[in-house]
Amino acid sequence: MLVGYGRVSSSSQDLDIQHDALRAAGCEKLFMEKESGTSTDNRKALSDALEFIREGDCFIVTRIDRLARSVSDLETIVAKVKAKGAFLKAVDQPIDTSSPAGVAFLQMLGVFAQFETAIRKERQLEGIAKAKSEGRYKGRKPTVSVEQVKAMKAEGVRPVDIASKLGIARASVYRALAA
């Protein structure tokens, strides 16, 4: 059976192109989701797809970066597919884990996907540092005021209760009290 998996990173992105490509590739069963690819955490459709595949199946994605953004995650996913007796193929890339050349190309693309993620994060941090130095970046506005937290503590309210009443984490209460 041909089993397809598609993923986009945010709810504003569209899965239609991947859906159509996977259907055109002959996928009989599709698993689609809108989740970040930087980790396999919280990717229910991926977990469901890996649970669904059986021996002899072909697990198909449009591109490897839709599957994983780190070499370790990619290796883990490929190992799960292989353990099930299935193979991995990509529609838009010459990847087919049923051949040694396909496995080698898969590993090279995994390295590039991880590198791209690292470069993007580096550029983001550089942009934030520049904006901070120019006074344009102040960070997220506090959800509650330090004064409010300290006033509640002065009234004898316990930190756990302050956190509960204000809808913030207990660690935020301790940070406010230390400020």
Mean pLDDT score of the chain, rounded to an integer?
88
**What is the extent of the structural domain holding 170?**
146-178
CA distances from 77 to 1, 69, 162 (A): 18, 11, 43
Answer yes or no: do 48 and 109 share one domain. Answer: yes
Amino acid (one-letter) located at 5: Y
∠ at Cα 167 (163, 170), nearest 5°?
Answer: 30
pLDDT value at residue 69: 77
- Whether pLDDT at 118 is above 80: yes
The predicted model scores a pTM of: 0.61
What confidence tier does 75 reach under pLDDT thresholds 50, 70, 90? confident
Whether residue 70 lies inside any domain: the answer is: yes
Average confidence (pLDDT) over 161-167: 90
Residues 6 or more apart whose CB falls under 8 angstroms from that of 160 comprise 170
Check residues 135 and 50 and name the one with the higher pLDDT. 50
> Does the pLDDT at position 40 exceed 90?
no
Question: Looking at residue 3, what is its pLDDT?
Answer: 97
Q: Does 162 lie in the same domain as 112? A: no
Spatial contact of 55 and 72, defined as CB atoms under 8 Å apart: no
Q: Catalytic positions, please? A: 9
Q: What percent of the chain has pLDDT over 70?
A: 100
What's the mean pLDDT in 77-94?
A: 91
Domain-embedded: residue 133: no
Residue 17 included in any domain: yes
Q: How many domains does the chain have?
A: 2
pLDDT: which is higher, 61 or 144? 61
Residue 136, domain member (yes or no)? no
Domain boundary among 117, 134, 166: 117
Q: How confident is the model at residue 158 (pLDDT cuts 50, 70, 90)?
A: very high
Mean pLDDT, residues 74-102 taken together? 88
| Residue 87 confidence class, pLDDT cut points 50, 70, 90 | very high
